[in-house]
Structure 1
Amino acid sequence: MTRVLSGIQPSGEIHIGNYLGAIKQWVALGERLGREAFFCIVDYHALTNPLAYDPATLARRTFEAALVNIAAGLDPERVTLFVQSHVPEHTELAWVFTTITPLGDLTRMTQFKDKAAKQEAIWSGLLMYPVLQAADILIYKADTVPVGEDQVQHIELTREIARRFNALFGETFPEPEALLNPEAPRVPGIDG
């Protein structure tokens, strides 16, 4: 493990599941890796949740997510903590990746199928979520991605996108590995 990237969505209030499943592990990784640890408030990903569309609420939750991470021990003097939408290269690289990602790969994503089944209208952002996630990871050339079990399929797609890009354009991106928190690989929500 040489470079880590992980993100947290500000689509709701930060809760104990976020702490146990992600933030606690991030703090330990940040202490160990320093500047090779990148942690992101993924506000663009939050837009795939219809409840996140209020600009004032999203801005407040983005700020609060950063504060909670810092309060929990993530040291912005040691690691890179940033907001996804403040780095336009994320969406630029995501566009490039959409041109080499088959639609079938996206429609097979379990999270897409589960969330789409609960919505009247299925927004294309939900379908493209894993492509943006791949861009988030690969733009920093992260080789390790701390995630919950529910995101492992997305990391596998990220590996495939990296492999496909490298085959077309030359060795550019590593094929990152998912890093599950051994203490809490899946923290079930209490919201059903």
Structure 2
Amino acid sequence: MVTKQTETAGAGTSTLEKKPRVFSGIQPSGNFHVGNYLGAIRNWVNQQSDFENSFCIVDLHSLSLATTRESMRANIRSLANVLVASGIDPRQSTLFVQSDVPAHSELCWILQSVTQYGELRRMTQFKDKGGGTDESVSAALFTYPVLMAADILLYDAEYVPVGEDQKQHLELTRDIAHRFNTRYGDTFVVPKPDIKKEGA
């Protein structure tokens, strides 16, 4: 957790002010729209000075659907440009690409050992994107929520800005963290959702 040192006037002592950690990710789908800005990016920008921020371009999540190397590279670069142009300040926040940090996929594998098959079957986004064709969708789409849990838990995030469509995934992340901590000892911070009314 980031700390900020401040001097107490006239006392010659210092206190440490801690900022809560925030993690949020966005897919480089190439389909960035005003809803992304109103629902997420605007809030990220406005809260930068209040938190220790990690904003991630989650390219591994994009692999759950068919794509090409060329379009993935172009979409990552384009999204990074949009985020910086929207006001994400690298001097205040960490902005990075998910696949540049191997620990995301490594932790995903470990967390699958405490994730139940039935929990993943109940994820509404899997049902929606799978379109009822379970036999032909990728396993990556099925385990997408576990990778999302790894993204969040890896950084000890206390808050996760999410829309209503991702709330179910965050609840699963909380369940996974609780289960892992119970089985192996206190390891992960159990994150809380940060859902804004505007743009939700």
Q: Same fold (TM over 0.5)?
A: yes
Query: How much has 1:13 moved relative to structure 2?
Result: 2.7
Written as runs of structure 1 = structure 2, the 5 A alignment for 1:4-19 is 4-19=22-37
1:37 aligns with 2:32: no
Query: How much has 1:24 moved relative to structure 2?
Result: 0.4
1:173 aligns with 2:188: yes
1:122-152 superposed Cα distances (whole Å, 9 cap, x missing partner): 1100000000000000000001100110000
1:86-144 superposed Cα distances (whole Å, 9 cap, x missing partner): 00000000000011111000000011111111657211000000000000000000011
Name the structure 1 match of 2:154: 139
Letter in 1 for 2:142: L
Written as runs of structure 1 = structure 2, the 5 A alignment for 1:150-169 is 150-169=165-184
Q: Is the 8 A contact 1:11 1:49 kept in 2?
A: no
Aligned length, in residue pairs: 181
> Structure 1 stretch 109-118 or stretch 73-82: which is displaced more?
109-118
Query: How much has 1:23 moved relative to structure 2?
Result: 0.5
Greater fraction of residues in strand: 2
1:148 aligns with 2:163: yes
Name the structure 1 match of 2:131: 117
1:152-173 superposed Cα distances (whole Å, 9 cap, x missing partner): 0000000000001101111111
CA distance in 2, matches of 1:105, 1:173: 20
> Which of 119, 132, 135 in structure 2 is aligned with 1:105?
119
Point out where structure 2 has 5 or more consecutive residues left out of the alignment: 1-18
| Structure 2 SS opposite 1:68 | helix
Point out where structure 1 has 5 or more consecutive residues left out of the alignment: 186-192
With CA pairs under 8 Å and 6+ residues apart, which has the higher RCO, 1 or 2?
1
1:20-74 superposed Cα distances (whole Å, 9 cap, x missing partner): 11100111121322xx111000000011122xx2101111101111110000000
Over aligned residues, Cα RMSD in angstroms? 1.3
> Which of 76, 80, 83 in structure 2 is aligned with 1:62?
76
| Structure 2 SS opposite 1:99 | helix
CA distance in 2, matches of 1:142, 1:134: 11
CA distance in 2, matches of 1:31, 1:16: 23
CA distance in 1, matches of 2:47, 2:108: 26
Runs of 4+ in structure 1 displaced over 6 angstroms? Answer: none
CA distance in 1, matches of 2:121, 2:148: 15
CA distance in 2, matches of 1:131, 1:167: 18
TM-score after normalising by structure 1:
0.91
CA distance in 2, matches of 1:142, 1:19: 22
Name the structure 2 match of 1:189: none
Q: Is the 8 A contact 2:65 2:138 kept in 1?
A: no
Q: Is the 8 A contact 1:48 1:125 kept in 2?
A: yes
CA distance in 1, matches of 2:100, 2:198: 32
Name the structure 2 match of 1:3: 21
